[in-house]
């Protein structure tokens, strides 16, 4: 029976890379019935909301979505569609595996870390006020409930995936109450997992250590804002945003998307790297129990990157998005 998956192409490079992912999944023989929805600017123009009730209901019914990036205007405009989806569907765990891949030129060749980002609170609640002209405030929310469930999620992930260490990243020396709570709860949960090493690190020290020697880290657990920033930094260690996948996971629903944004500088030119979204789709296929197809696609990507003949511009090649995808499909079909 076909899996039903909601497809949100998004904007910018979103439609180009989601199309690539859909073609690749089809080539691997996975039967998926896609239901396409808009979000972000076109949705605001249509119904006044960046995420329509129809889209939310559909994800609630079908449980799974694959999503391209969506523009969020800077300093003005509607609330981010990405943040809205994460909050309304309670997708509290943002998983971002960051791994070196042979064939991709990067600063390191042995990076293998997993970022777990709390996805529902912190400064992303969007509670901001103009107190008086020239004076503003943004409110950082950290609750015991959200800290507890994300800490448990990170340790459970580590346990199930044979990971040895979880590092909590915070700024509790300055935000003593909010990040202090995040740290205290982490320490309590860590005691339930004596087989896993638990450590904590202040975010500025983490940034330096990550650049000096990423191999010393395993699972990193961060709040929403630091998780966002450190994910892009970590992507830079393994070849850039074009290759790092992600998943937003809650108790009931999951939305799979790459770490990167809409890349307006290269949108519409058919030159974006679809690997990050394809890898995100592989996380989705594993979630759906389609492990054999996911393995086949992964091996095909790795082989093509290692051969190095069909790379997109971000990886030093001259291949278009569609040429890259055509070559990948040939490789997948040779393995079917
Ligand atoms: P970005 O991630 O879109 O781009 C940063 C740089 O990386 C650009 O030079 C871009 O060309 C490059 N890049 C990103 N993805 C690439 C790919 N697949 N292949 C090749 N190069 C790639 O970040 P930026 O410019 O800060 O954000 C643009 C828009 O995207 C903003 O409106 C932002 O709010 C939104 N955004 C959306 C996200 C989402 O939907 N989950 C996540 C991050 C940003």
Helix (H, G, I), strand (E, B) or coil at 319: strand
Q: Give the CATH architecture of domain 1-95+241-336.
A: 3-Layer(aba) Sandwich (3.40)
Measured in Å, residue 124 CA sits from the centre of ligand 1 at 18
Q: Per-residue pLDDT tens for 48-69?
A: 999 999 999 999 999 999 999 9
- How is domain 107-237 classified at the CATH fold level? Isopropylmalate Dehydrogenase (3.40.718)
Q: Catalytic: which of 67, 92, 171, 253?
A: 171
Substitution site in 14, 50, 69 for ligand 1 pocket (most atoms within 8 Å of beta carbon): 69
Q: State which ligand 1 atom lies nearest to the alpha carbon of 276.
A: 18
Cβ atoms < 10 Å from Cβ of 197: 15
Q: Answer yes or no: is pLDDT of 336 > 80.
A: no
Q: H-type helices in 93-215, by residue range?
A: 144-160, 178-190, 203-212
Measured in Å, residue 93 CA sits from the centre of ligand 1 at 21
204 an active-site residue? yes
Give residue 235's pLDDT band: very low, low, confident or very high (50, 70, 90): very high
Q: Answer yes or no: is pLDDT of 97 > 90.
A: yes
Q: State which ligand 1 atom lies nearest to the alpha carbon of 71.
A: 32
Return the residue whose CA atom lies nearest to atom 36 of ligand 1: 261
CA-wise closest residue to 181 among 208, 148, 137, 207: 148
Rounded Cα distance between 201 and 34, Å, is: 42
Helix (H, G, I), strand (E, B) or coil at 203: helix
DSSP letter for 334, please. H
Return the residue whose CA atom lies nearest to atom 6 of ligand 1: 263
Share above pLDDT 70 across residues of the chain, in percent, rounded to a whole number: 100
Return the residue whose CA atom lies nearest to atom 13 of ligand 1: 263
Q: Per-residue pLDDT tens for 282-330?
A: 999 999 999 999 999 999 999 999 999 999 999 999 999 999 999 999 9
Measured in Å, residue 262 CA sits from the centre of ligand 1 at 4
Substitution site in 242, 262, 268 for ligand 1 pocket (most atoms within 8 Å of beta carbon): 262
Residues of 266-287 as b/e, b for ≥16 C-beta within 10 angstroms? bbeebbbbbbbbbbbbbbbbeb
Measured in Å, residue 199 CA sits from the centre of ligand 1 at 31
Ligand 1 neighbours, Cβ below 6 Å, are 13, 69-72, 82, 241-242, 257, 260-266, 272-273, 276, 314
Q: What are phi and psi of 112, to 5 degrees?
A: -150, 80
Residue 73 has what pLDDT?
86
Return the residue whose CA atom lies nearest to atom 5 of ligand 1: 263
Q: Catalytic: which of 67, 92, 122, 124?
A: 124
| Domain ranges (residues) in the chain | 1-95+241-336, 107-237
171 an active-site residue? yes
Q: Answer yes or no: is pLDDT of 126 > 90.
A: no
Measured in Å, residue 69 CA sits from the centre of ligand 1 at 8
Rounded Cα distance between 71 and 11, Å, is: 7
> Do 107-237 and 1-95+241-336 fall under one CATH topology?
yes
Q: What are phi and psi of 12, to 5 degrees?
A: 65, -125
Share above pLDDT 90 across residues of the chain, in percent, rounded to a whole number: 94
Residue 288 has what pLDDT?
97
Rounded Cα distance between 185 and 149, Å, is: 10
Q: Catalytic: which of 200, 228, 253, 324?
A: 228
187 an active-site residue? no
pTM: 0.96
276, two tokens:
């990050």
Q: State which ligand 1 atom lies nearest to the alpha carbon of 70.
A: 40
Q: What is the CA angle 138-146-260, rounded to 5?
A: 65
**Whole-angstrom Cα Rg for the chain:** 20
Measured in Å, residue 263 CA sits from the centre of ligand 1 at 4
Partners of 93 in the beta sheet?
A: 118, 249
Q: Per-residue pLDDT tens for 186-208?
A: 999 999 999 999 999 999 999 99
Q: Answer yes or no: is pLDDT of 77 > 90.
A: no
Tokens 């330096």, residue located: 208
Measured in Å, residue 183 CA sits from the centre of ligand 1 at 31
């Amino acid at each position: 029976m076909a899996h039903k998956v909601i497809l949100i192409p998004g904007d910018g490079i979103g439609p180009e890379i989601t199309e690539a992912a859909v073609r690749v999944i089809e080539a691997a023989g996975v039967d998926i019935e896609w239901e396409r929805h808009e979000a972000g600017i076109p949705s605001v123009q249509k119904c006044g909301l960046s995420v329509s009730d129809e889209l939310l209901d559909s994800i609630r019914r079908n449980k799974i979505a694959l999503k391209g990036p969506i523009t969020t205007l800077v300093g003005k405009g509607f609330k981010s569609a990405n943040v809205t989806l994460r909050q309304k569907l309670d997708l509290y765990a943002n998983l971002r595996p960051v791994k070196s891949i042979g064939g991709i030129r990067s600063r390191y060749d042995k990076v293998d870390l997993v970022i777990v980002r709390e996805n529902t609170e912190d400064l992303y609640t969007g509670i901001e006020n103009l107190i008086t002209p020239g004076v503003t405030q943004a409110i950082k929310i950290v609750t015991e409930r959200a800290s507890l469930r994300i800490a448990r999620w990170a340790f459970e992930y580590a346990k199930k995936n044979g990971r040895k260490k979880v590092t909590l990243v915070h700024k509790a020396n300055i935000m003593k109450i909010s990040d202090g709570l995040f740290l205290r709860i982490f320490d309590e949960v860590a005691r339930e997992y004596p087989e896993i090493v638990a450590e904590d690190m202040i975010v500025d020290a983490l940034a330096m250590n990550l650049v000096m020697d990423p191999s010393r880290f395993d699972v990193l657990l961060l709040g929403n804002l630091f998780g966002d920033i450190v994910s892009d930094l970590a992507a830079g260690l393994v070849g850039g945003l074009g290759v790092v996948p992600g998943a937003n996971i809650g108790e009931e629903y999951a939305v799979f998307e790459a770490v990167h944004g809409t890349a307006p500088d290269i949108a519409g030119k058919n030159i974006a790297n679809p690997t990050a979204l394809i890898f995100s789709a592989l996380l989705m296929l594993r979630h759906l129990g389609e492990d054999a197809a996911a393995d086949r696609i992964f091996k095909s990507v790795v082989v093509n990157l290692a051969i190095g003949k069909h790379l997109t511009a971000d990886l030093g090649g001259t291949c278009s998005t569609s040429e890259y995808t055509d070559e990948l499909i040939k490789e997948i079909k040779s393995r079917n």
